[in-house]
Structure 1
Amino acid sequence: MAPTKTPAVELDVRGRTVRVSSPDRVVFPARGITKLDVVEYFLSVGDGILAALLDRPTTLERWPKGVFEGARLATRTDSSGDAFYQKRIPQGAPPYVETARIAFPSGRTADEVCPTELAVVAWAANLGTLTFHPWPVRRDDVEAPDQLRIDLDPQPGTDFSDAVRVAPVVREVLHECGMEGWPKTSGGRGLHVFVPIAPRWTFTQARRATIALGREVERRLPDLVTVHWWKEERGRRIFIDYNQMARDRTIASAYSVRANPRATVSAPLAWDELTVVAPDDFDVTTMPGRFADVGDLFAPLSAVDGPGYSIQPLLDMADRDERDHGHEDLPYPPEYPKMPGEPKRVQPSKDRDRAH
């Protein structure tokens, strides 16, 4: 006799009925966390996750089979993975799931999920979405980033504690430019700093500003920080991944769940707690209590009357770098078309001209 299938559960999500199928399906075997647990986690941090995604075109990172040992995420070159990125609205989405049309570097377009209410998050979680990847734009102007997202990415031989050593210098440079940033764990070993910007900047300008900031931090911490795109040149340093500000590159939202055995989450932090926390402190089971205690530390990023900083000081810094140090643009990701002003996109060890 076949095992009895657990019936679906219907949840009331702020007036919407959201159906959770196979609610007892185990998503994180090491922790015994089920699909219903994941959905209820997102509802417990509802104001935070919705603020992070509201009106933003959002790519869904879906793990419909769960995060089991050996599970792989499909890539552009290998589509055989157990999980995948959903860049277009799934077929059969309910009418309340709205979209925003975005353009990729290739020139192709897509209608991406654009959350406008918490029920959309619960619906996506039922589809196996663990990590939400919102664009740094709002749907009313998808060509104008309203956030700088600074990714402090530990390279082999470094870890979260090294990113924590870099973060105050990032903040120092921001302050010198009249700006403030809000830190969060990546959910893994890294650290992110988000900066609200205004009035209207392009992706090219936002990326150029991030490069300038990264180069200045690298000058102040040359043994600990790098902006080198090629892995063979990075060494045991924290890579400030400036290409996260390129079009169609996104960072996991605050409160997203990460696909690791512990079910950690990307947790907003106060600056003064960076040195006393670790990424594993924040997971699906602990974050609801923290959220109840401290609320949404990223709320200023989404407030209607919140700050919005000019990136002109960073663009001026980029101009000085080019004039005084000969620093030009840096390589784009490999799937991008050749961009104006971009240097030769060749791995240094394979660059015959450089070798001579």
Structure 2
Amino acid sequence: MAAARGSRDATSVEVGDKEIRVSHPERVYFPETGATKLDLVEYYLAVGDGIVRALRERPCMLHRFPDGTAGEKVHQKRVPRGAPDWLHTVRVHFPRYNRDADELCVTELAEVIWAVQMSTVEFHPWNSRRADVEKPDEWRIDLDPMPDCGWDRVRRVAGVAHEILDELGAVGWPKTSGGRGMHIYVRIPPDHGFSDVRRAALAFAREVERRAPDDATTTWWRRERDPAALFVDYNQNARDHTMAAAYSVRGVPDARVSAPIRWDEIDDAKPADFTLASMPARFAQLGDLHAGIDDAPFDLAPLLEWAERDDREGVAPPPED
């Protein structure tokens, strides 16, 4: 529970045993809808269990919009100096820059609200946790539509992915991307490094492509893809790649949300159905549709066998990330 009090210039929000000062609560963050910074705070409070579950213990990049979504977007890895001492972080290394960063590592809802106070709209967590950031515990299937790809095609490919997951005995947890695509998450034991998880994801993507050759592609170079195709983006499993979390608002004019959905909703659901305005009531009615995700881990061994089969058959590997 949270209570807010204050003035036009600042509001104090109580989140658990923390009190967070929210400056400029009436600043409009989404000009198309008129939603304000305080509306964003209240949204994340309303879906608190869901957003914390999606972010818990994960290094998290923050997409900040200091002047609202009509202004500049800032990709922030490092927690700034002066952050409260109760904030949890984890240090991660970025080899390509030979630099380290202490990233936010959410353990409670107050940390989410602190980030919103810092003008964060989107939360982009790693697919590993701070106990061992080099061992992912989440395999991510990103159904990424090319510019001329319609939502019906996304739905069809999602159905193929669901069929293959069922055959593997894997439980997939779908959500809208908050854009034009769809994500499916699968929990895995943290037994493999990023390279193996990416190889497994590629093997799965190739199987989707085999079964839906008119709809799906794994072609690496964007310029070589059919502009109406759907790219099964296995590379989102590469190290330090991130995607918007479940329940994350996106920095788009209509304040869409990356929304967990049931498999039986996909035929009727539309990405624009899930917004900052509509999701709190949905969450109150349905709860967190990803609540059981930690209870259904899947061993990647069958997919790594598929990857070895592809290697033996001479299927050309994509470039390394």
The size of the alignment, in residue pairs, is 313
Q: Deviations over 1:82-126 (max 9, x none)?
A: 111101112211111111111224243211110111001001011
Instruction: Find out whether 1:209 has 2:197 as its counterpart.
Output: no
- Indicate yes or no: 2:65 matched with 1:59: no
More strand by share: 2
Letter in 1 for 2:270: A
- Quick check: 1:105–1:247 contact (8 Å CA) kept in 2? no
Aligned to 1:344: none
* 2:245 paired with 1:243: no
For the 8 Å contact 1:88–1:112, the answer to whether it is kept is yes
Pairwise CA distance, 1:234: 1.1
| SS of alignment partner, residue 147 of structure 2 | coil
SS at match of 1:258: coil
Query: How far is 1:199 from its partner?
Result: 4.5
SS of equivalent to 1:143: strand
The alpha-carbon deviation at position 30 of structure 1 amounts to: 1.1
What one-letter code is carried by the residue in structure 2 that aligns with 1:320?
Answer: R
Equivalent position amino acid for 1:94 in 2? P
Structure 1 residue 43, shift from structure 2 partner: 0.4
**CA–CA distance in 1 between the matches of 2:156 and 2:212?**
10
Is the counterpart of residue 284 in structure 1 residue 284 in structure 2?
Answer: no
CA contact (8 A) 1:243 1:332 kept: no
Off by >4 Å, runs of 4+ in structure 1: none
Q: Distance in 2 between matches of 1:138 and 1:244?
A: 16
Note the residue ranges of structure 2 that are not aligned, 5 or more in a row.
1-6
- Is this contact kept in 2: 1:152–1:239, CA < 8 A? yes
Match of 1:218 among 209, 214, 217: 209
Give the secondary-structure state (helix, strand or coil) at the position aligned to 1:175. helix
User: Which residue pairs with 1:101 in the alignment?
Assistant: 91
* Distance (whole Å) between structure 1 residues aligned to residue 319 and residue 245 of structure 2: 25
SS at match of 1:110: strand
CA shift for structure 1 position 39: 0.6
1:139 to 130, 137, 145: 130
Paired residue type of 2:308: D
Per-residue CA deviation, residues 253-297 of structure 1 (Å, 9 max, x unaligned), is 001011111001000000000011101101011000000010001
2:316 equivalent to 1:312 = no
Query: Whole-Å Cα distance in 1 between the matches of residues 176 and 24 of structure 2?
Result: 30
Q: Distance in 2 between matches of 1:201 and 1:300?
A: 22
TM-score computed with the length of structure 2 as normaliser:
0.95
SS at match of 2:197: helix
* 1:264 correspondence with 2:252: no
Among candidates 33, 36, 56, match of residue 34 of structure 1: 36
Partners of 1:100 and 1:222 in 2: CA distance: 41
Work out the CA distance in 2 between the residues paired with 1:243 and 1:331: 10
* Equivalent pair of 2:88/2:104 in contact (CA under 8 Å): yes
Partner residue, 1:13: 15
Asked if 1:331 is matched to 2:319, the reply is: yes
Higher mean C-alpha deviation, range 180-189 or range 101-110? 101-110
Structure 2 Cα separation of the partners of residues 329 and 96 of structure 1: 45
Displacement of 1:332: 3.4
Q: Is the 8 A contact 1:136 1:250 kept in 2?
A: yes
C-alpha deviation, 1:33, in angstroms: 0.4
Report if aligned partners of 1:268, 1:298 keep a CA contact under 8 Å in 2.
yes
Partner Cα separation in structure 2 for residue 272 and residue 98 of structure 1: 37
The one-letter code of the counterpart of 2:81 is Q
Deviation at 1:174, TM superposition (A): 1.7
Match among 86, 103, 106 for residue 76 of structure 2: 86
1:184-243, Cα deviation, whole Å (9 max, x unpaired) = 000010000000001511100100000000001101111110111111211021001111
Residue 246 of structure 2 is aligned with which of 232, 254, 279?
A: 254
Distance 1:259 1:282 in 2: 14
- Local SS of the residue matching 1:283: coil
Q: Which one-letter code corresponds to 1:131 in the other structure?
A: E
Which of these two proteins has the greater Rg computed from alpha carbons?
1
Instruction: Kindly state the Cα deviation for residue 156 of structure 1 after the two structures are TM-superposed.
Output: 1.6
Whichever residue aligns with residue 21 of structure 1, its letter is S
The letter of the residue matching 1:317 is W
User: What displacement does 1:251 show?
Assistant: 0.8
Q: How far apart are the structure 2 equivalents of 1:125 and 1:161? A: 34
Structure 1, unmatched stretches of 5+, are: 72-81, 334-356
Conserved in 2, the CA contact under 8 Å of 1:7 and 1:22?
A: yes
The one-letter code of the counterpart of 1:329 is P
- Which moves more between the two structures, 221-230 or 174-183? 174-183
CA contact 1:166–1:225 (8 Å) conserved in 2:
yes
Distance 2:87 2:118 in 1: 13
1:187-206 matches, within 5 Å, as 187-206=178-197
